[in-house]
Amino acid sequence: MNCGYVALIGRPNVGKSTLMNHLLKQKISITSRKPQTTRHRIVGINTTPAGQAIYLDTPGMHDNQSRALNRHLNRTAETTLLGVDVIVWIIDGFSWHIYDEVIFKKLEQAGLPVILAVNKVDKVKDKDAILSFFDAAQHRYPFAQLIPISALRGINLEKLEELIFELLPENPLIFPEDQVTDRPQRFLAAEIVREKLTRRLGAELPYELTVEIERYEELETITKIYAIIWVERDTQKNIVIGKEGEMLKKVGTDARLDIERMIGQKVFIQLWVKVKRGWSDNERALQSLGFND
């Protein structure tokens, strides 16, 4: 069987997490319209009659090195290229950006087969522009394959999967057939809470908060989750809680419903908001909060 690791790379907010979820036909990575929603390397395992593709969803590659968290995200994305068999580079337009030049250099160093996937083509009216861009791209780098896709609409995803399996080496299965990720449910629960916060809060605040599961109890008829939302300032704490606790209640309800769908059991969730000043620019704090991909 063809079996191996596939790195999904690209700049922030190009649709890497949405693509992996649709390839797996279930939600493993959290998504939002805000860049840098993905902070960890997320493994998604797809076993088919053709073999097993082990997808690695990565944080978006970017040139912002201002905080320890930003440097961690870049390290996580870059080290994912080590030890994989195929790279899928996802972009969302027909032009190169400044940081793409850095990605080109990293691909040359990796020396692996690369599929260039142009996402969000459902929004493109001029189809000739796709052919023109692909012709120029092939002269820019020796891509193994080039394909237009829409991760959200499911356009060309079966063809993309076919191309990926053609490039994977022959290997026995690495994971059991029914396994879809290597992450425990408590990690996924924390990510779901953070997704709901990211979607409901303003533009900047989601980048200065994180979620830690303090206790995760799996009982016979219910799963109880106790989570801490860490922010950097007291003013942020007030925003997350909201007037009379309304924002925190909405986030808790949103997260509970998603987690219940994920685990197939009733969920009780309790959220607290606490301040840890400067956590996003402190390497030791990042390690203690689980940023150790």
Residue 92 sits in a domain whose CATH number is 3.40.50.300
Q: Are residues 96 and 56 in the same domain?
A: yes
Q: Read off the pTM.
A: 0.92
Beta carbons within 10 angstroms of residue 17's beta carbon: 26
pLDDT at 170: 95
Look at residue 178 and tell me if it is in a domain.
no
Number of domains in the chain: 2
Q: Do 99 and 125 lie in a common domain?
A: yes
173 lies in a domain?
A: no
Residue 201 lies in a domain: yes
Provide the token pair at 72.
Answer: 């961690």
d(CA 281, CA 68): 4
Both 92 and 146 in one domain: the answer is yes
In this structure, is residue 74 part of a structural domain?
yes
Residues 172 and 188: their CA atoms lie apart, in Å, by: 28
By residue range, what is the domain housing residue 280?
Answer: 185-288
For residues 67 and 6, state if they share a domain. Answer: yes
Q: pLDDT means per 10 residues in the chain (293 residues)? A: 95 92 94 87 94 94 82 88 94 86 90 95 84 93 96 94 96 95 95 95 83 96 97 94 95 97 96 95 90 76
Report if residue 180 sits inside a domain.
no
Domain of 261, CATH number, reads 3.30.300.20
State residue 74's pLDDT score.
87
Domain match, 10 and 138 both: yes
Pair (64, 194) in one structural domain:
no
pLDDT of res. 293: 64
Boundary (domain end) residue, out of 167, 195, 230: 167
